[in-house]
Structure 1
């Protein structure tokens, strides 16, 4: 029986004034293919930290954007599942928040060693239509579908439930 460590995380969808959202390049852990993919800024909760507090802290550390837990408000989405890295097994519940930032800039303030390595892979501010059309793997699955309402200022009263893994693309017509 595999013992999994609980590792709750908080991530933030950062939207620039032109409605582009920030994604960071990384190589995902198992069970995903080891190919460069994209994910939102964020990371694990520290002891005693709420998801909104963690999202604000992670946004500052990874992007330089100063946010408060109050600004982030309620979560806009969640997903959860199992993964592993370097022989360690985890179960994660990701809690996603949305915030507008004043500029499409990235200036990390406090990256962990592994984050410094990942940061070298790059970052990009994406339009919603680009995310919807990309063939690249984007985390979380379903992010593009959330964006139109969020960018228009519409929030659901309950967080959206997103998939953990990506749906297989059909090979029909190839």
Structure 2
């Protein structure tokens, strides 16, 4: 059993994160903050989110990518959930405990600008920028990321390695 901080009400959920790469080997990341927790500063985060009732990981990946970025893909463009992880973090007034899978989506050509039309209100507040990062820059970066070990794990993940990450108490 994992000892969690007793700081906020806990919500348990399943979630999907998406490593979106473009034809120039760059990965899409959101520059993020939590207005309720300024002590956390800012970080770079993969698109993704919680699974709705009845959704598969494919359904969630396709929906979250469209909602958060405006990028429309089909389920057959979503890779297998070969990176599995469990993490906890605070967001707004809840402590999330998530069982996550990370999947890959490869786009042709250079990555498009992000379209915020279908974002939820809190996403419009939390995500204040985006960037298509060259993969070697992610791997070498000392910036803060979610998932935390993204710089170390993105290259093996994209090379097809199976990753079962230990629990991460992110915040």
TM range (shorter): 0.7 to 0.9
Cα displacement (A) at 1:136: 1.3
CA contact (8 A) 2:139 2:154 kept: no
The Cα shift of 1:29 comes to: 8.8
For residues 126 and 165 of structure 1, the distance between their equivalents in structure 2, rounded to whole angstroms, comes to 25
User: Structure 2: how far apart are the matches of 1:32 and 1:133?
Assistant: 26
The answer to whether 1:118 aligns with 2:126 is yes
Say yes or no: does 1:155 pair with 2:160.
yes
2:151 equivalent to 1:144: yes
Q: Name the structure 1 match of 2:83.
A: 77
Judge conservation of contact 1:53–1:68 (CA < 8 Å) in 2: no
Partners of 1:82 and 1:90 within 8 A in 2? yes
Q: Mark the runs of 5 or more structure 1 residues left unpaired by the alignment.
A: 167-174
1:135 shift after superposition: 2.1
TM superposition score normalised by structure 1: 0.79
Structure with greater strand share of residues: 2
- Alignment equivalent of 2:73, drawn from 64, 67, 73: 67
In the alignment, the residues of structure 2 paired with residue 160 and residue 28 of structure 1 have an alpha-carbon distance, to the nearest angstrom, of 27
Q: TM-score, normalized by length of structure 2?
A: 0.80
Partner residue of 2:30 out of 24, 28, 41: 24
CA RMSD of aligned residues (A): 2.6
Q: Residues 132 and 87 of structure 1: is their aligned pair in 2 closer, same or farther, counting only changes over 3 Å? A: same
1:119-174: CA deviations, max 9, x gaps?
A: 3x2011111221122221011122223333455xx313x344266247xxxxxxxx
Is 1:130 aligned to 2:130, yes or no? no
Q: Does structure 1 residue 100 correspond to structure 2 residue 76?
A: no
